[in-house]
Amino acid sequence: MKTAITINGASGRMGRALVQACVENDTTQLAAALVRSGSEFEGLDAGTVAGIAPANVSMQSDRNQLPSGVNVWIDFTLPEGLMDALNYCVAKNIPMVIGTTGLSEEQKQAITKAGNTIPIVFAPNMSVGVNLCLSVLQTAAKTLGEDYDIEIVEAHHKNKVDAPSGTALRMGEVIAESIGVDLDEKAEYTRHGNIGARKSGAIGFQTIRAGDIVGEHTVIFAGIGERVEIAHRATSRLTFARGAVRAATWLAGQSAGVYDMQDVLGLS
């Protein structure tokens, strides 16, 4: 039996990729494609808007008209829209895959609380490759420790509104946890002017916003006489969308709780 999926924000760049990934996957069925009320795409076929063959699912704004039997809700919208959807899914007992970034601590706590009622996969990056990199980073950080200077460089398209990216922050968290330090105390996000020598043990973040870059992340461990770099470069949003759809099929059989892609991929 196929996993029936609702995609929230289906007309956006990521939403269209999710529609394509869902339609192309043999184990999933696009049940509904939601857009904001008054959207120019309302009533249009979701597949046509995504640039693929018609999916025979019209984009709609009224979630109360969703078909019965929806197995999983996928959401990559903005934080405010996500919180509204979260309350709806808790009330309707619909599992969620959440890829929204730029969330406040209060909003993250709301997701944790919702996990007491419904199963949720919550990850800043659904790419299989990125999540493999997170596992590699654990080993690298434990091996190299604080003897190497650590810098995280990320690049995204010019319209991305949050910085550093959720993926870069997660990479920093993994590194900090692996070497036993507090990221809030070690992170450096801004450098300008006469800043002096690099602080010992700092974890630096550098942000690039330009053009149509889909997503690039490089972690640099720089020692004396050598440098280790662990990098991931995405050239299509489909890599994230396919990971999210994979998470949705996995989530459909899980009990309430908050999971991440490490759980989905069996890497945790």
Catalytic residues, by residue number, are 156, 160
CA distance 251 to 264: 8
